Structure 1
Amino acid sequence: MPGTQQRFSLIGEKSLVDLRKLIGVPIEDSLEPWCYEASRDNVRHWAHGIGDDNPLWSDPQYAADTSYGRILAPPSFIFALNRSFSGYVGGMAGVHAMFAGIDVTWHQPMMLGDQFTTKVWLKDLVEHQTRFAGRSIQQIYRCEFYNQKSELVAAGDSWCFRTERDTARERGTKYEEVKKKAPVRYEREDLAKIFSYYESEEIRGSIPRFIEDVKVGDKLQTIVKGPMTVTGFIAFAQGWGGLYIRANKLAWKQLKKHPGLGIPNKFGIPDVPERVHWEDDLATLVGTPAAYDYGPERCSWMSHHLTNWMGDSGFLRHLEVKIRRHNPVGDTLYISGEVVRTFDDGGEHYAEISQKAINQDGELSVLANGIVKLPSRG
């Protein structure tokens, strides 16, 4: 790049060719997942990491009185079960990866004590031109999740965009206006407004939401996530298990095995690229305004919105999420939804919900579409 110092790797044609050869090939040596089973602790840590206090996920006494008779894991718990699906993509060493969306169908609930295996493979590579970094590669993975009975629990796609860090920083136009703004500052009345959403957040719980009571145009209660803090991002990582978050000897072993992983910090210490989620220094080097949230975290917030609405007797059947921008530290998200269709299929009853999330400045952060199975009075 004329006039700029190249600090990071570029998208190379050879690496793309080599990666394309792996399309459709099962990933047999997949990275160890954070969770193999839906234990009481694993499920609670996951739910608390996304800020979801639904007692169905964490209160054994409450769950015992439901039709399930025991704790369930939130649908988004699948992110803790497979690293590739969660955005730890292979190939193109040194090229930044940004998690950007999912398209998933659930077939079975995930219940306390269930144990899981997965099958995952690279599904496709798609080239795009973006405002964030010019040329980028959408890297799509397909994953299937099975329980200990070999039943298919869920299956779907997730994708990351691979971008050149230097290009995003020097030539990207997506965040030009954001970078010119003064840092967000919350006054007491601003925080009071946000906290009022938390105070009034409704969990449908044990009260069934029958399909007969749902109409096209019905609005879901808006929920809030934020204001974003590094503390919140770390809380998510505790439940999700960031692959690169390792200490001392284990961190050294990881960097020894993958020398290109380490990016020197301001002290000259090689550290992992995942620190874009808690260090502004590296986040700005890759072209974003500041440290920002995790993509799987944001997808999980969209499913949280739906499970609040559907209640214990509902089942999240399908969710598609498209992430449109980063949420840097200081942002607050407002998640809203509207019923756009009700329909029957195979004797089951469904509501389709269109969702979106905007930040405190009205900027679009997420678009999503969910399909929820609901009971009928009949």
Structure 2
Amino acid sequence: MATLAEETRNRFPKITEAGLDDLRKRIGVAITDTVEPWNYEASRDAIRHYAHGIGDDNPLWCDPAYAEKSRYGSIVALPSFLFSTSRIVSGYCGGLAGVHAMWAGADWTWHKPVLRDDVIRTQAHLKDLVEHQTRFAGRAFQQIYHVDFFNQHGDLVAECDSYVFRTDRDEARERGTKYTEARGRVEPFTQDQLAQFADMYAKEEVRGAATRYWDDVNVGEALPRMIKGPMTVTGFICYAQGWGGLYIRANKIAWNMFAKHPGLGIPNRFNVPDCPERVHWDEAFALEVGAPGAYDYGPERCSWLTHHITNWAGDDGFLRKSKCQVRRHNPDGDVIFIDGSVIRKFEENGRKLVEIQQRGETHRGELSVIGSAIVELPAKS
């Protein structure tokens, strides 16, 4: 019989061989039974809410009068908006009931723009399951999904491989070497620091209608630095409002969800099943699963990288590809600086393309995220 100490230490369900075998059987099988997306349609409000959720005020997404004068003739959905049209690409994953899932990266390709009032449908399947040994939680499994996105005309507008890491919550809490010194850390900013951050926001450049030509871009050219933060729980919730979250449900709909997925609900202090997503606003629960505190969403950080690119590319540029790898949690109180540089200019299938390398670090110099992008730009000729 387990002791009280052991029961306390082993509070959460474990990764089991039976669970892994079941997951492997799902590889390549089309997913037909999943929760509905936050957005089916790229409405004016849905696009604006998502853009504002990542702090993006580009008028191409948000201002109909401005967008009418662009080459699109209407509001366009920002590239990362598609996170809100698929729970699976955003981290909703099957199997291993009660085992923590951390969204950790995505590899996007966009084929066509998503215009105002486009209706999006998706097709998805589990692509692979890869075992890793991690400092954070020991044995972990990278669960990779592929999602295709189609508009109302049947056109493939985008595709994405995204992945979560399935980790043992108890192991992460006990091991926790990655965040030992960061857990629950509170470091107030000085007024000088806050003034510096405010100045960076004030000077943030949205390229907009000033066309950036492929001819004028040089390898080695640096993109303007972008700031995100300081992180707050309010900011995390703001993102969830635009993106929709994975498991945020209320009353009867919440109970129906927990009844269908018994391992999903984690008892709160009232012994009421509550969603695991509360790690993003409940610091005590975040600490229980080994995180340093309430932290940002993975798709949110991926969206910051694409925001960095679209600001630079302007209205006439088109983001073709983006890769994002999340390297650590960003708890409230963190600030992220995103830098990028042009590493290649090339032509492919008649397109003028630029490859950009990106890196995001905290204000303490900790690596937060790495990424890359391929952007199509117009040529003067």
Common fold, TM-score beyond 0.5?
yes
> In structure 1, how many angstroms separate the alpha carbons of the residues matched to 2:348 and 2:324?
23
Q: Deviations over 1:235-282 (max 9, x none)?
A: 100111113111222222222332322212223322110000000111
Shift of 1:60: 0.2
Q: Are 1:325 and 2:340 counterparts?
A: no
Q: Which residue of 2 aligns with 1:131?
A: 135
Q: Which residue of 2 aligns with 1:34?
A: 38
Percent of aligned pairs sharing the same letter? 57
Q: Which residue of 2 aligns with 1:117?
A: 121
Q: Are 1:270 and 2:280 counterparts?
A: no
1:276 partner amino acid:
V
Q: Which residue of 1 aligns with 2:319?
A: 316
Q: Secondary structure at the match of 2:178?
A: coil
Q: Secondary structure at the match of 1:195?
A: helix
Taking a change above 3 Å as real, the CA distance of residues 182 and 239 of structure 1, as seen in their structure-2 partners, is closer
> In structure 2, how many angstroms separate the alpha carbons of the residues matched to 1:368 and 1:319?
7
Q: Residues 91 and 246 of structure 2 are in contact (CA less than 8 Å); yes or no, is this contact kept in structure 1?
A: no
Q: Are 1:356 and 2:359 counterparts?
A: yes
Q: Which residue of 2 aligns with 1:85?
A: 89
The 5 Å alignment of 1:1-378 reads 4=6, 5-179=9-183, 182-378=185-381
Name the Cα RMSD after superposition.
1.3
1:59 partner amino acid:
D
Q: Residues 140 and 168 of structure 2 are in contact (CA less than 8 Å); yes or no, is this contact kept in structure 1?
A: yes
TM-score, normalised via structure 2 length: 0.97
Shift of 1:190: 1.2
2:276 partner amino acid:
P
1:194 partner amino acid:
F
Taking a change above 3 Å as real, the CA distance of residues 122 and 211 of structure 1, as seen in their structure-2 partners, is same
Q: Secondary structure at the match of 1:227?
A: coil
Q: Residues 15 and 168 of structure 2 are in contact (CA less than 8 Å); yes or no, is this contact kept in structure 1?
A: yes
Shift of 1:47: 0.5
Q: Residues 134 and 172 of structure 1 are in contact (CA less than 8 Å); yes or no, is this contact kept in structure 2?
A: no
Q: Residues 116 and 147 of structure 1 are in contact (CA less than 8 Å); yes or no, is this contact kept in structure 2?
A: yes
1:222 partner amino acid:
R
> In structure 1, how many angstroms separate the alpha carbons of the residues matched to 2:152 and 2:187?
48
Shift of 1:174: 1.2
> In structure 1, how many angstroms separate the alpha carbons of the residues matched to 2:214 and 2:344?
11
> In structure 1, how many angstroms separate the alpha carbons of the residues matched to 2:200 and 2:252?
43
List structure 1 runs of 4+ shifted beyond 3 angstroms.
1-4
> In structure 1, how many angstroms separate the alpha carbons of the residues matched to 2:351 and 2:239?
34
> In structure 2, how many angstroms separate the alpha carbons of the residues matched to 1:28 and 1:294?
25
2:117 partner amino acid:
G
Gaps of 5+ in 1: none
> In structure 2, how many angstroms separate the alpha carbons of the residues matched to 1:252 and 1:26?
27
Q: Secondary structure at the match of 2:112?
A: coil
Q: Secondary structure at the match of 1:221?
A: coil
Q: Residues 100 and 168 of structure 2 are in contact (CA less than 8 Å); yes or no, is this contact kept in structure 1?
A: yes
Shift of 1:182: 4.4
Taking a change above 3 Å as real, the CA distance of residues 375 and 357 of structure 1, as seen in their structure-2 partners, is same
1:371 partner amino acid:
I
> In structure 2, how many angstroms separate the alpha carbons of the residues matched to 1:243 and 1:363?
28
Q: Residues 337 and 355 of structure 1 are in contact (CA less than 8 Å); yes or no, is this contact kept in structure 2?
A: yes
> In structure 2, how many angstroms separate the alpha carbons of the residues matched to 1:121 and 1:248?
30
TM-score, normalised via structure 1 length: 0.98
> In structure 1, how many angstroms separate the alpha carbons of the residues matched to 2:296 and 2:302?
11
Shift of 1:138: 0.1
> In structure 2, how many angstroms separate the alpha carbons of the residues matched to 1:123 and 1:110?
25
Judge which range, 264-273 or 101-110, deviates more: 264-273
Gaps of 5+ in 2: none
2:317 partner amino acid:
G
> In structure 1, how many angstroms separate the alpha carbons of the residues matched to 2:65 and 2:11?
54
Q: Secondary structure at the match of 1:320?
A: strand
